[in-house]
Amino acid sequence: MTKSRKPNGDSTIYQAKDGRWHGYVTVGVKDNGSPDRRHVTRKTRPEITKAVRDLEAKRDKGKVPKAGQRWTVESWLTHWVENIAALTVGENTIDGYRVAVYHHLIPGLGAHRLEKLEPEHLERLYAKMQKAGSSAGTAHQVHRTVRVALNEAVRRKAITENPATIAKAPVLDETEVEPYSVEEVQRLLLEAAKVRNTARWVIALALGLRQGEVLGLQWEDVDFEAGVILVRRGRLRPRYKHGCGDRCGRKPGYCPTKINTRRETKSTKSKAGKRPIGVPEELMKLLAEHKETQDRERLRARDLWVEKRYVFTSEVGEPLNPNTDYHRWKDLLKAAEVRDARLHDARHTAATVLLILGVPDAVVDAIMGWEPGKSARMRRRYQHMTSPVLQQTAAKVGGLLWPAGVQTDNDEAAGQAGSGRSQAGPLGVQPSIDPVSDQSMVFVANVGQRLVPFLQHEHALALVERWNTERPGRSAEVEIWEQAKWDNEGPGGRGAIRDREADQRTVFHAYAAFRPGGERVDLSVPEQWSIAAWDFEVDLYTDRSVSWRTARRPGPEQLVEAQVRGTDKAAVAAALAEALEQAVDRAQNPGRYGDVEEW
């Protein structure tokens, strides 16, 4: 009688010569197409029968781990964060994942076998983190990260269940954010008028834009005619690498020749985040004045200016660093003598203002950039729009924060501070000028074919007298213009009128250029020179002790320039050595500095 064979795929049990029982169970197919048969062994037949039946039950429920690498928590999390998550999430999200993985999860749980990880292991880690000083919010971020990572492990059958879905994360007490009162907002705006980039803080308090949204604004996003700002990108925190070959002994962010390896902005993370916002008329005027001030800074910086079209920039045109911006906010709070709060709390204040005004929910959602499914919850926490609705909302916000006829004892100083504007400051306060200027006169120093306007006659006269003394043969005189004539015909308009004396510095310059490969070019320009420059001579003047940059000059030769300038001669000389070293390296290694089309 012929013995029949079991069908392919059936489980097999047999006893080996050593007396042990062995079982094979087909649980699926391997990546190469061959059957995936798992082996178990026991001492007795009842034990092996039970083991085979248990493995068959797991197979039928889809809970058999995939064959292949046996993961530890450390190896899986490293693989997940670098090879899976990094390809599918944004820069800020992956930064948060990496902190959770490398600073908390791997040091606390990395040695566990992935399939042996239990919910209790995670809960003990969270408790240990809080005992060491981490907040409940940090522990929650770690919990969310490991849950996402292990969900991916389940999908890929590296494990059969996710212990993070069972583990309990620490309870989060959602703190109630107390928005600033209108009076506090007005005090902040008065102080903002005294600092550079005044409009940046007015936008935060009046419109509630997120920090990244404000810092990512470019002039193409500002429609002065329609009175609308279009939010469509956010500023990313820079990430640096050493430009010195790691020789300086500092962290990359503090390297004197640091190189930013991250793009500057990214698109808004949701469709709701990309939105038009109606801007109060007073704020639109402030933005126009800010643009004039930036134009003067551009001329003053001369060859150091990097044109990137951002609305809010450093003194040389670079986008503002979010970390620096945060510290400027803290300085503003101290100066205004209001309670300390996060920069993001300015957004809460703006949202509350909108709700107080009775602005419809749909309009609030559009202005704040809240997604429809989450907007109700966000409105409770904070307590495609047509142009008429945008303008009506802008008028309501403007009427609350810029009330007509309001004036305080400090308003006159605030109106004159900062960029020397002669029109109303952020709260609609008209700055004080001398009695002659009250008669709508502008005193213009005509020096070397330049027209420099002043509010006070003595300031214009002092400039002319000193100019005639220092530069004989180049005539200078004071002209008196009517305010209306200057507004219509004067270069720079009303925003150019000064309420202080002109400033003068001795400025030291240094310059060199190199061809691709590092060969220095003789451009018949002295390597170093100095000149006494007035602040209105923007092509020569600077008030910084030293600043330098390297740049690839547009044109067929692709020259790399090293440019240094400042008021401290020794600092300029020292910076020149660094600038020359980087310029040579940049000429030899253009890709390292992003001087390639695909960057």
Q: Which of the residues are catalytic?
A: 210, 241, 344, 347, 370, 382
Q: Where does residue 346 rank: exposed (0-12), middle (13-18), buried (19+ CB within 10 A)? A: buried
| DSSP β-bridge partners for residue 313 | 319
Contact (Cβ atoms closer than 8 angstroms) between residue 495 and residue 285: no
State the Cα–Cα distance between residues 351 and 383, nearest whole angstrom: 7
Q: What φ, ψ does residue 357 adopt, rounded to 5°?
A: -70, -10
Q: Which two structure tokens, joined as six digits, stand for 68?
A: 């292949």
Beta strands in 157-301 (DSSP E): 222-223, 228-231, 233-235, 240-241, 259-260, 265-267, 275-278
Note whether 278 and 523 are within 8 A (CB). no
Distance from C-alpha of 575 to C-alpha of 528, rounded to nearest angstrom? 12
113 strand-pairing partners:
72
Task: Dump the DSSP string for 494-512.
Answer: GGG-BSS---EEEEEEEEE
CB count in 10 Å sphere of residue 172: 11
Q: What is the DSSP letter of 572?
A: H
> How far apart, in whole angstroms, are the C-alpha atoms of residue 501 and residue 467?
13
Among candidate residues 338, 330, 374, 380, the one with its CA nearest the CA of residue 355: 380
Closest among 476, 478, 442, 441 to 460, alpha carbons compared: 478
What φ, ψ does residue 24 adopt, rounded to 5°?
A: -125, 130
